[in-house]
A and B are shown apart, each in its own frame.
With several copies, the nearest count.
Chain A
Amino acid sequence: MWHNDFPALAALAARGITYLDSAATAQKPAALLLALQTYLSQGVANVHRAGYRLADEVTTAFEACRDEVATFIGAAQRDEIVFTRSATEAFNLLAYALEPQIQAGDELLLSPLEHHANLLPWQQLAARRSATLVWLPITASGHIDMTAASKLFNPRTKLLAVTQLSNVLGTVQPVRELCALAEQHGALSVVDGAQGIVHGTVDVRALGCDFYVFSAHKLYGPDGLGVLYGRHSLLSQLPPWQFGGEMVQQVSRASASFQAAPLRFEAGTPPISAVLALRASLAYLRALDRSAVAAHEAALLQHLKDGLDQRAGVRRLGDSDAALVSFVVDAVHHADLAQLLDEQGIAVRSGQHCAHPLMATLGVAGSTRVSLSLYSQDADLERFFTALDNALALLQEEPTP
């Protein structure tokens, strides 16, 4: 139903391509294309400290997006929203800006489900500060084990960094409970919402997290833009990380003073058109019936799981709660499967999904991931299953001796 709002889908269909990789990046609604085209064809300007009305208009629209993001995720204040290049940059900003707060022997609590973006910055921070990464165990279904987790918090725990929705398993994590534990133990909490925000309503205050991160391009928005939410009392205390124009108050040859958050974290010319484009995407999403979307995605997910379970040799990894499923096939290499699916126009992810430690934990070299979005349809899954059957027919054949 919503899929007519996404012009690329028709173009892909015309080429025989079925896009089932929305967890990597989502196709864009027409509203986004229009917003970009309008901005770029009506006159661009740089933002902040506008001396003329065009710059004032652009800045106002830019800052309006900050308000809309704040509303979208339930932030208490607009200045809790920082625009970054991507989710990845947001995690790096945090890992550098929090560095002074981490001492030797401190513990950073991570799950083995984490995407490299929410793992490597902490791994590097731990190395720089002689801190320790502590790993939250996961259950067979791919959920963080809360009983085990609660025992891992201790006075040395300084930070919790967990994903809301695994980009490999599709499992929804007990983030609210974990953040509550973190708070009880005086630890900071960082939630990776890159996947989570796409498939459910987010309320950062209800989650109780200190920081929340996502990328616009997965949320039907533009690439080149990420969002960092930070609780005001914490964000406003973090030192700036990148330096340049617009984030300063006074600069002399010897020293400088900086703006308050969020501007102090937005050095230089920001991705203006991406911010305006995100605004259009959020407006589009806001106008949807989100419970209808959720129901649609849930039905698709069930269809996907059932279909996979019916196929011999196919084993799902974990038990997905939302939007995506990874699987392996006995005696079939995921790279071979990827190649045969691609030849049949099926665009799915194959490999380690930027989550090497998780793959090691699961004991698999790689997997095939099918991911869904609000514009996915049952027909997409039918095409996928047909292609899968064709591929497996070849790959599961006994090798001629």
Chain B
Amino acid sequence: MSLPAAAQQVLNLLQQSPSFEGRNRALLQLGNQLPSFASERRNEQDLVHGCDSQVWLRCAQQGTALHFSASSDARLIRGLLACLLLRANGLTAAELAHVDWPDWLTQLGLKQQLSPSRANGLNAVVQRVLALSRAT
């Protein structure tokens, strides 16, 4: 399964900037690009539990392709969300089920962030992505 173009871009970006500053500045930029949820769309049912920041996630279907939108009140978390979404968006539910998320985050140098015990809740977000995709 080849990478979506957007995912390839984020991969290049993060691999080019392995330093603490570079990586995090890149993440912050990625987060800024995330379309921000209008506050009236931040409803309870889109809230992902288990995150230390508030994370909203919703899913829309275009044909068989799924499109996720997400936001958070924390900027770095938004960057992490962007990394997930750029990898997920445009895939079908079947394709999504086969994404190797730990591998993806390892490639980005962000593997640690996916641990189930992390307060950032990234693991919870991935679970929600999969649950939403199964529900479509």
Contacts and interface: CB of A to CB of B under 8 A. Distances in A.
B46 interface: no
A395 B75 contact: yes
A333 B74 contact: yes
Interface stretch (B8-16, B113-121, B127-135): B113-121
Interface stretch (A100-108, A158-166, A266-274, A339-347): A339-347
A340 B119 contact: no
A63 interface: yes
Contact of B52 (A59, A338, A400): A338
Chain A: interface size category: 20 to 34
Contacts of A351: 52, 119
Interface residues of B, number: 25
A184 to B, nearest CB: 36
Interface stretch (B20-28, B59-67, B89-97): B20-28
B136 interface: no
B52 A55 contact: no
Given A51-B119, A55-B117, A350-B119, A336 B76 contact: yes
B70 interface: no
B103 interface: no
B69 interface: no
A53 B117 CA distance: 10
B49 A249 contact: yes
A333 B77 contact: yes
Nearest to A399: B32
A48 B112 CA distance: 15
Contact of A56 (B54, B73, B112): B112
A258 B74 CA distance: 24
Contact of B20 (A63, A344, A366): A344
A10 interface: no
B77 A336 contact: yes
Given A399-B32, A400-B29, A400-B32, A56 B117 contact: yes
Contact of B73 (A60, A333, A338, A350): A333
